Amino acid sequence: MMKAGKILLLLLCLHVFSYAVISAQPQTCPAENAGECGDSDGWEGEFFPGIPTIKYEGPSSKNHLAFKYYNAEEEILGKKMKDWFRFSVAFWHTFRGTGGDPFGAQTKFWPWEDGTNSLNMAKRRMRANFEFLNKLGTDWWCFHDRDIAPDGKTLEEANANLDEVVALASKLQKENNKKVLWGTAQLFMHPRYMHGAATSSELGVYAYAAAQVKKAMEVTHYLGGENYVFWGGREGYQSLLNTDMERELNHLARFLEAAVAYKKKIGFNGTLLIEPKPQEPTKHQYDWDAATTANFLRKYGLIGDFKLNIECNHATLSGHSCHHDLETARINGLLGNIDANTGDPQVGWDTDQFLTDIGEATMIMLSVIKNGGLAPGGFNFDAKLRRESTDVEDLFIAHIIGMDTMARGLRNAAKLIEDGSLAELVRKRYQSFDGELGAQVEAGKADFETLEKKVREMGEPKVPSAKQELAEMIFQSAL
Structure confidence by residue, pLDDT tens digits, 101-116: 989 999 999 999 999 9
Domain boundaries, the chain: 43-419, 422-477
Taking only the tens place, the pLDDT of each residue in 290-332 is: 999 999 999 999 999 999 999 999 999 999 999 999 999 999 9
Q: Give yes or no for a contact between 97 and 128, defined as CB atoms under 8 angstroms apart.
A: no
Task: Give residue 239's pLDDT.
Answer: 97
Inter-residue contact 315 to 325 (CB < 8 Å): yes
Is there a contact between 117 and 169 (Cβ–Cβ < 8 Å)? Answer: no
Which helix (DSSP H) or strand (DSSP E) does residue 328 occupy?
helix 322-331
Nearest to 289 by CA among 254, 324, 238: 324
Rounded to an integer, what distance in angstroms lies between the CA atom of residue 251 and that of residue 257? 10
pLDDT at 401: 98
Specify the pLDDT at position 15.
Answer: 38
Which helix (H) or strand (E) segment is 182 a member of?
strand 179-184
pTM of the model: 0.90
pLDDT value at residue 42 = 85
Residue 13 pLDDT = 39
pLDDT tens digits for 360-413?
A: 999 999 999 999 999 999 999 999 999 999 999 999 999 999 999 999 999 999
What's the confidence (pLDDT) of residue 3?
A: 41
> What DSSP character marks residue 463?
-
DSSP symbols for 337-349: EEE--B--TT--S
Range of lowest pLDDT (36-40, 61-65, 143-147, 422-426): 36-40
Task: Give the rounded distance of the alpha carbon of 356 from its chain centre.
Answer: 16
The predicted structure's pLDDT at residue 39: 53
Q: Cis ω on the peptide bond leading into residue 464 (within 30° of 0)?
A: no
Residue 461 is classified by DSSP as P
Could you read off the pLDDT of 168-219 as tens digits, one per residue?
A: 999 999 999 999 999 999 999 999 999 999 999 999 999 999 999 999 999 9
Which pLDDT value is given to residue 44? Answer: 87
Q: Please check the confidence at residue 11 and state whether its pLDDT lies above 60.
A: no
What's the rounded mean pLDDT across residues 449-453?
A: 97
Phi, psi of 227 (to 5 degrees): -150, 160
**Cβ-based neighbours of 317, under 8 Å, separated by 6 or more:** 277, 278, 279, 280, 343, 349, 350
Extended strands (E) in 194-315: 227-230, 236-237, 271-274, 284-285, 306-311
Q: Determine which one of 15, 64, 144, 314 is catalytic.
A: 144
Long-range contacts of 168-171 (CB under 8 A, 24+ apart): 168/39, 168/123, 168/126, 168/127, 169/126, 169/223, 170/222, 170/223
For residue 101, list its beta bridge partners. Answer: 104
Encode 99-114: b = buried (16+ Cβ within 10 Å), e = exposed: beeeeeeebbeeebbb
3-state secondary structure of 58: coil
Once rounded to an integer, what is the mean pLDDT over residues 465-479?
A: 97
Query: What is the assigned CATH class of domain 43-419?
Result: alpha beta
On the question of pLDDT at 17 being above 80, the answer is no
314 catalytic? Reply is no
Nearest to 201 by CA among 153, 154, 236: 236
